[in-house]
């Protein structure tokens, strides 16, 4: 069932996948056990290249269909439509750091937050450099920089 679901998603994304490229396919426990959402499916593929193809195809699909992003119905899964997110798997510590980075970015009007090869990045605007967030100290330093920039503007 899990492999079937993943293969349907890949078919929707137009990424050819052969069952031999799927090393493992399992469900992981929910963060909130009371949630109605189904448990996440964690797929281990035979190569990082294959993983990147699936992730980039999901991004392209969602950009091409802004009003109908990847969901269970367009992936051929029977039942109520629910959004499907395709991301790299992160450890629980990295998930918390990613959540903190997203909260910081939202509060400080950063345009981008993303994960690449398990590393978390933020970018203030299109013309700014990407900044890797290695730990909470990085976020605290960025907050200090934002505060300094704000106080310099007010002078």
For the stretch 26-39, pLDDT in tens is 998 887 888 888 88
Looking at every residue in the chain, the average pLDDT score rounds to 92
CA–CA gap between residue 150 and residue 145 (Å, rounded): 9
Burial of 122 (C-beta count, 10 Å sphere; 0-12/13-18/19+): buried
- Please report, for residues 51, 116, 134, the alpha-carbon distance to residue 23 in angstroms, rounded to integers and kept in the order given: 11, 21, 29
CA–CA gap between residue 55 and residue 89 (Å, rounded): 11
Residues 6+ apart with CB under 8 A from 5: 41, 75, 77
Backbone angles phi, psi at 120, to 5 degrees: -105, 135
For the stretch 120-142, pLDDT in tens is 999 999 999 999 999 999 999 99
For the stretch 16-27, pLDDT in tens is 999 999 999 999
């Amino acid at each position: 069932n899990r492999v079937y679901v993943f293969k349907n998603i890949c078919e929707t994304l137009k990424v050819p996948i052969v069952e031999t490229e799927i090393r493992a396919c399992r469900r992981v426990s929910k963060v909130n056990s009371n949630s109605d959402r189904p448990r996440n499916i964690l797929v281990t593929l035979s190569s990082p290249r294959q993983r990147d193809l699936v992730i980039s195809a999901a991004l392209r699909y969602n950009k091409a269909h802004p009003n109908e992003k990847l969901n269970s119905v367009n992936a051929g899964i029977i039942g109520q439509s629910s959004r499907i997110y395709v991301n790299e798997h992160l450890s629980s510590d990295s998930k918390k750091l990613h959540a903190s980075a997203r909260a910081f970015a939202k509060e400080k009007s950063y345009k981008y937050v993303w994960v690449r090869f398990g590393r978390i990045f933020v970018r203030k605007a299109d013309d700014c450099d990407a900044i890797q967030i290695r730990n909470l100290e990085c976020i605290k330093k960025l907050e200090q920089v934002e505060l300094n920039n704000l106080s310099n503007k007010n002078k």
